[in-house]
Structure 1
């Protein structure tokens, strides 16, 4: 009897613990310590030292609730300078906590610390954090899980359990050495040696049988998978053998649910899906591999994890899912067309119907002279023919303190020379210029930005991420954007709301947002290869007229340059 009472007491304590963790009386202060350190990690056939947070790969999950204040003290013990970006968090008036190196802060130097201090406002769902300097986000990343306010249920069936599924890439060599070698040659760095699911490649790779993530499920229960694409350079298909998935959220915004056999997720994006464990008890592979509808040299092998029903022995060979073909453009377009904001009375889609500022940015790849490179040239990327040059002082500091000479406010609203953007392959260079040029945006104005892929060198898909904001994806298409005809087909009722959007290969994407968050906000391709080549810019959003419409003062421990 005493033993039984003891068990009941333990369970009661555990239930009370869960209640107070997930049902606090009011917003809380959540504190985390991130120690950037190098750890020897084994994958594939050998181990190598990688940069990690708290010695973990992937790094720790940040659990918060909508309305919480979050303090993350980051101490850098690695040899590289470091900054952490809280991808998708809007950081209202608080760009100081956004994290991209030399945009909103100078990086944290070795032996130094910085505390990111921010409040989660008006957001709930799955986001993620990652290093935002060099290629260090190859191993420095983790999930952010934002629970809704107390008493606010999910707008979909309550799952029995949740699990983070983080997709990534693995290099057998030091990723910074690989990037440096590519720069010296003037060519793309070597592709990754494997893709990973929760840091593990799965048994389809050599010497990796023990490096496989397994999710055990119970018959008839429902599971919420929080899927994050943390890969540096690859859009990925993801599927589970024998199981459909119901998409219920993208980029921490609820969607109209729909069922699919596979999802497409670009670097930087998150997707929440419900999976019902209603199939024959067995072992099933979860699998991810790249979507590539352009002739590129990338790692195209399949990473796997295992969904295993309780009671099934590990000796059973898992079943493989049917993934879309690597070049299945029709599936990609069809899948993205199904994404719609929930747009319920509680979770409204407040799409700007009138536009104050029209922007049209062309995406180009080119070849520039490079006397120090092995073949005398190097690959470059540009928006409106401008290859962005990173400053040596944070843009936000330069803007806030009015430091002259750091950037120019003359980024063009349109390309300098219109042409047939997606026609026959064009010259590799259309007079690209180098510069730290950004756009100034009036506070609370509405902005429409059309991102247009071009056939300079080659057409290619590009996932673009805007810091500090969500935006509505009001339209997309293949070919050249037609300003007279295409806007008539825009979805202004329930378009998907995101922070990262894919521009289709040889096509265009139109987004809209209201510039109600003052500060300096980075916008860039989330393919790290292209970002390094200069495919990026920033928006300087002016202060409003009221005290609560201005940038907050900088923290006292902001890293110096």
Structure 2
């Protein structure tokens, strides 16, 4: 395997010119197959970028790219991914978020990691974070999954620019020419044969990632979020589509790369793999004069559902079929901030859908058509989730009685030092001194008493700061949002590591176990890994509260997981700013069945 260890050492510790280090960071073995194993290298380093044509700033990139390179595997493949931290050791005024701010870890979002929890990439939960100058090799198999996923950093706000698509194909029949392994044939815009993915056929695919870009460096933003000066969550100045947009269209510098262009041909059907790599906001996505037909959510194939726009929460992925049946010309791809009651919903996240034979590839890409897509002004909770149906039918597990119900009630409050934190059942998650997985593998760790925990109020075990669950327990999790009277109720997209889950029900105000325990208002639950808890006020409850400092329930969602994957798994709000401030818990699943492993962090010199 190509390995520039000595040069990496010079880049990190001898501070060679940034451009030279960037060129090294781009060297990788991409989609290489060695003895039947997919091998990738992800090199994370600082670069100077200007993604919205406003000002050049230093940011982290993966192999010198934004988004990072696409990882493409087939269902059942074994994957080896070496993550290399090429950041310099941190030198600054303090540490912004527990440990070295230039530590690194990579999470493969939506990949359930059966039997490979050590590859999940959550710092201080499944692995030690990767210090500058070190590497870590993730070794896992993609078990019984196909669909649209992505990878992203899981330390602080590094994920703002450290992310990339992770596509799992059913087989080579699902791969477009440019996605075929080396030596399998050449790529072209037109696919000679239709692609087959599950029950659907289409001509080609396009990957669309949506992310956010702040005009302040991540250290400054992290320190503000975690410090005493915090007042409110700041919106990003720009929304990027495939790493680009224009911040001020009226003043575009010559160096500006313009908007991303999505090339298509007329009379074709394309699968758009839309990835919500946002750090904060839920976005609406639409294409002027084109409908979209949803066929996949978070890896779950769904019955075709036609819509004019799509809502994509942070961490969510949705595949939709696009029929290029309009007059061949350029069309605007647009986004809008959803569930942003105290913010301007307008978004500069724009791109161009270009019918290729209408204009040549050198056409103008700094101006989008003036006819933008329209979005409904009214916010509807819970969007279209009750109408989507699994293509292969609802899993019967959703009709079985649960082993027990765990309520995760989130509240926020000011600390004595002036900082603001989120608390789940009175506990604000902070990184432990050592990975939880290390603690489980010590002889001192006692096994939890599941029978006793079933009768407890929350099921929380303070020994390791986890929620223990038994092997094959069927757990219902109620995620409860709250707010203070006269303040906004926030939306929270929750993500389950190690499992997909079924959304069973949603409700207003406060979850009442006696009244709501049998509520099922999702007639055909999907098996997905991100669920939005929508703000939904109970007006009687609001009116009865006279205390402005009391946390009032303002919406809940009930999800269900089947504990079929022993390990330690993070469950958290995928609004990363909220997660950093404590909105996260860890499920300790069947610790007696977790197989010990050896950490594979190697010095890259």
TM-score bracket, shorter-length normalisation: 0.7 to 0.9
Please state if 1:393 is matched with 2:434. Answer: yes
User: Residue 446 of structure 1 aligns with which residue?
Assistant: 474
Please state if 1:38 is matched with 2:46. Answer: yes
Residue 438 of structure 1: CA displacement? 1.4
Q: 1:499 to 1:411 in 2, by over 3 A?
A: farther
TM-score normalised over the length of structure 2: 0.77
Between 450-459 and 119-128, report the one with greater CA deviation. 450-459
What is the aligned counterpart of 1:94 among 116, 132, 135?
116
Between 297-306 and 212-221, report the one with greater CA deviation. 297-306
User: Residue 290 of structure 1 aligns with which residue?
Assistant: 337
CA contact (8 A) 2:169 2:197 kept: no
CA contact (8 A) 2:54 2:246 kept: no
Please state if 1:382 is matched with 2:423. Answer: yes
How large is the RMSD of aligned CA atoms in angstroms?
A: 3.0
Residue 539 of structure 1: CA displacement? 0.5
User: Residue 416 of structure 2 aligns with which residue?
Assistant: 369
Between 197-206 and 43-52, report the one with greater CA deviation. 197-206
User: Residue 525 of structure 1 aligns with which residue?
Assistant: 573
Alignment of 1:303-314 (within 5 A): 303-313=349-359, 314=363
Q: 1:400 to 1:324 in 2, by over 3 A?
A: farther
Q: CA separation in 1, counterparts of 2:103 and 2:374?
A: 42
User: Residue 71 of structure 1 aligns with which residue?
Assistant: 80
Q: 1:392 to 1:324 in 2, by over 3 A?
A: farther
Moved over 6 A (4+): 407-416
Q: Which runs of 5+ in 1 are unaligned?
A: 1-20, 371-376, 417-433, 545-549
CA contact (8 A) 1:85 1:132 kept: yes
Q: CA separation in 2, counterparts of 1:413 and 1:67?
A: 39
CA contact (8 A) 2:135 2:601 kept: no
Please state if 1:176 is matched with 2:219. Answer: yes
Q: CA separation in 1, counterparts of 2:214 and 2:454?
A: 38
Please state if 1:28 is matched with 2:28. Answer: no
1:507-539 deviations in Å (ceiling 9; x for gaps): 111111110111110111111111111111101
Alignment of 1:127-146 (within 5 A): 127-146=149-168
User: Residue 590 of structure 2 aligns with which residue?
Assistant: 542
Q: 1:150 to 1:197 in 2, by over 3 A?
A: closer
SS in 2 for 1:475: strand
Q: 1:264 to 1:436 in 2, by over 3 A?
A: farther
Please state if 1:324 is matched with 2:376. Answer: yes
Equivalences, count: 503
Alignment of 1:47-196 (within 5 A): 47-79=56-88, 80-149=102-171, 153-187=196-230, 188=232, 190-196=234-240
Between 30-39 and 201-210, report the one with greater CA deviation. 201-210
Residue 302 of structure 1: CA displacement? 2.9
User: Residue 390 of structure 2 aligns with which residue?
Assistant: 341
Residue 173 of structure 1: CA displacement? 2.2
Q: Which runs of 5+ in 2 are unaligned?
A: 1-29, 89-101, 175-195, 536-553
1:404-449 deviations in Å (ceiling 9; x for gaps): 69x9999998878xxxxxxxxxxxxxxxxx9962111011111001
Q: CA separation in 2, counterparts of 1:285 and 1:494?
A: 34
TM-score normalised over the length of structure 1: 0.83
Q: CA separation in 1, counterparts of 2:113 and 2:440?
A: 17
User: Residue 496 of structure 1 aligns with which residue?
Assistant: 526
CA contact (8 A) 1:82 1:108 kept: yes
